[in-house]
Amino acid sequence: MGFRKLITSKKSLLLFAASTLLGTHQLMAQGTTAAATPDAAGSSGMWIGVLYYVLIFLVGCVCLAILGKILKVYDLTLKMQGKKPINWNTIMGIVCLIFIIAGMYGAYWSLTVQGSMSLPRSASAHGVDIDNMFNLTTILTLIVFVITQVLLFGFAFVYRGSEKRKAYFLPHNNTIEKVWTIIPAIVLTILVVFGFFTWQTVENSTNVKGDLNIDITGHQFAWELRYPGPDGKLGALNYTLTTGLNKLGIDFKDPNSLDDLQADTLVLPVNKSIRLNIHAQDVIHSVFMPHFRLQQNAVPGLPTFFKFIPTITTDQMRAETNNPKFEYLLYCNKICGGIHYNMQKVVRVVSQAEYQDWIAKQKPYLTDQLKQQLKVAAAKSASGQLSSNKLALNN
């Protein structure tokens, strides 16, 4: 009777947990619908989703606990009846076998399903080396993962505890310790050295000549682009000159600044070296262009740069991915505030002829409004200087 009572109470608990989970699932569905409305509804929907998965985990733990209690009670019942109790060694061995089979299937599923979601081939010259380094690391770690996990759980099943077999304890073996120390050391050394030289090649900007200089400036929450004009040179920046119209703080006393251009899209000529001059005006941002295997932080007060050569045009990548709407994108890869997700720019790689046609249509940064503002500022400065001189003469 006690055993039946226990089973009944456990079933009741399980039904309660399942009903709670079902109710939460319905709430999550309602929250998802509500999330189509502005921020508050979206935020509540997110937390309902989190609660749903937390409850799934808790229900799973409760189910395991119930199963364990049932088996324990059943085992005690067998002992009380003088029958052979449950062979827990066999059960644990089978659990290990099931675990490794499920785990290997999970790894296979991840490689085939999620692996197909990976980025297409690199669209930059240096990205090929980064992909090779990533592939080598993945292959080596995958081999080690499969071998170690199969041995770990396979041994737990094959050599599970048995009254017919006595365990053999191996407290020390110099040969085994040398093998599992030297082999990983060699593999890790190869990975570190390969990674070091790859990174050195990527960051060694002296190998990239004939740069097209482009300024990328990050601020909450957008990217600003500045291209050189016909002189091929960008003018100087001075943060103290930043205004509503002069968002970048360009110093127009520098003659190179007068023909600088502004743009909404980062357009790059294919197979030409590009130098991105990276700035930040408020907090740390990060220039992230995953299809080019490119990332560089934008740090306030510390200009940085990155040189690379794009090798695949947007049209070519659209054909390769069979996606006529494909676009390269520039992201911010540092969480920089509440609208961090808004920091995106389209990046378009085109032929040299297309680039020349596009750059000729871009507007100068020095607009008529900005010219007027600079004239007013210069007039005020001159008036102030004249007043100061008069005051000095009177004194």
Q: How many residues does the chain have?
A: 395
Which of 184, 203, 222 terminates a domain? The answer is 203
pLDDT band at 140 (very low <50, low <70, confident <90, very high): confident
350 & 285 share domain: yes
Nearby residues of 320 by Cβ (< 8 Å), 6 or more positions away: 120, 121, 312
**pLDDT number for residue 78:** 79
Give the pLDDT band (50/70/90) at residue 269. Answer: very high
pLDDT tens per residue, range 40-96 = 455 566 677 788 888 888 998 999 889 888 888 887 887 788 777 777 888 888 888
Domain membership of residue 328 (yes or no) is yes
CA end-to-end span of the chain, whole Å?
110
8 Å CB contact between 279 and 215: yes
- Which structural domain, as residue segments, surrounds residue 26? 1-86
Taking residue 48's Cβ as centre, other Cβ atoms within 10 Å add up to 19
Q: Is residue 94 part of a domain?
A: yes
260 found inside a domain: yes
Statement to judge: residues 99 and 82 lie in one domain: no
Per residue, the 3-state secondary structure of the chain, as one string, reads CHHHHHHHHHHHHHHHHHHHHHHHHHHHHHHHHHCCCCHHHHHHHHHHHHHHHHHHHHHHHHHHHHHHHHHHHHHHHHHHCCCCCCCHHHHHHHHHHHHHHHHHHHHHHHHHHHHHHCCCCCCEHHHHHHHHHHHHHHHHHHHHHHHHHHHHHHHHHHCCCCCCCCCCCCCCCHHHHHHHHHHHHHHHHHHHHHHHHHHHHHHCHHHCCCCEEEEEEEECCEEEEEECCCCCCCCCECHHHCCCCCCCCECCCCHHHCCCEEECCEEEECCCCEEEEEEECCCCEEEEEHHHCEEEEEECCECEEEEECECCCHHHHHHHHCCCCCCEEEEECCCCCCCHHHCEEEEEEECHHHHHHHHCCCCECCCHHHHHHHHHHHHHHHHHHHHHHHHHHHC
pLDDT confidence of residue 122: 93
Residue that finishes a domain, picked among 86, 108, 139: 86
Strands 294-298 and 274-280: unpaired
The answer to whether residues 296 and 346 belong to one domain is yes
Residue 390 lies in a domain: no
Residues 118 and 244 in one domain: no
What CA–CA distance (Å, rounded) separates 144 from 348?
40
Is the pLDDT at 1 greater than 80? The verdict is no
Share of the chain above pLDDT 70, in %: 82
Does some domain include residue 394?
no
Residues 305 and 349 in one domain: yes
Is residue 6's pLDDT more than 70? no
In a domain, 384, yes or no: no
Kindly state whether residues 102 and 153 are assigned to the same domain: yes
Q: Are residues 218 and 367 in the same domain?
A: yes
Domain for residue 124, yes or no? yes
Do the domain assignments include residue 288? yes
Residues 69 and 125 placed together within one structural domain of the fold: no
Same-domain pairing of 247 and 341: yes
The CATH number of residue 329's host domain is 2.60.40.420
Lowest mean pLDDT among 15-24, 74-83, 262-271: 15-24
Per-residue pLDDT tens over the stretch 214-229: 999 999 899 999 999 8
Domain check: are 156 and 250 in the same one? no
Shared domain for 190 and 223, answered yes or no, is: no
* pLDDT score of 34: 40
Q: What is the mean pLDDT of the chain?
A: 81
185: number of CA atoms within 13 Å, CB side?
6
Asked whether residue 82 falls in the same domain as residue 95, the answer is no
Q: Is 135 exposed, middle or buried (0-12, 13-18, 19+ CB in 10 A)?
A: exposed
Number of domains in the chain: 3
> Which tens digits make up the pLDDT trace of 285-315?
999 999 999 999 999 988 889 999 999 999 9
pTM of the model: 0.70
